[in-house]
């Protein structure tokens, strides 16, 4: 899986020239959408099928500042999927492989009416695909 690459924009920095912390959360969303697309799970397609996947939790540990116009490579991995919640981890690194942030996000799956989706029963192919993406930890 190739990492998502984001170039820090000038408008993403604060008065000190450092990337504002809120932008890392936006980059996580960009990387998540890209990751799922690479896996054949297009967000727009999921929404057309009647599935929405809101973020219900985010945690980000900032390790090193970035500035305009740094390039940040973001890798995404599925830590867990229990049929109700999808747990993703993100590692953000500079071109010289220095870690700038480590993060996690948690997502659920709802139908258009906002009711939880029983993934295994209602969308078995999607359920199996997401289960197959869970990375084994040693």
Annotated catalytic residue, options 14, 42, 95, 96: 14
Work out the number of other CB atoms within 10 angstroms of the CB of residue 119.
21
Q: How far is CA 7 from CA 19, 87, 91, 107, in A?
A: 11, 25, 15, 26
96 is catalytic: no
Find the DSSP H helices in the chain. 22-38, 43-48, 119-122, 124-133
Give the whole-angstrom CA distance, residue 83 versus residue 136.
17
Active site residues: 14
């Amino acid at each position: 899986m190739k990492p998502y690459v984001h170039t820090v924009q000038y408008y993403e920095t604060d008065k000190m020239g450092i990337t504002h912390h809120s932008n890392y959360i936006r980059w996580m969303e960009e990387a998540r959408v890209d990751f799922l697309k690479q896996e054949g799970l297009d967000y727009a397609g999921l929404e057309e099928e009647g599935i929405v996947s809101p973020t219900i939790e985010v945690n980000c540990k900032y390790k090193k500042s970035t500035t305009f116009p740094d390039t940040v490579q973001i890798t995404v991995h599925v830590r867990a999927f229990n049929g109700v919640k999808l747990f993703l981890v993100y590692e953000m690194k500079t071109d010289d492989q220095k870690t700038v942030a480590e993060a996690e996000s948690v997502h659920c799956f709802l139908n258009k009416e906002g009711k939880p989706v029983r993934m295994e029963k209602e969308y078995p192919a999607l359920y199996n695909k997401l289960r197959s993406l869970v990375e084994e930890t040693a």
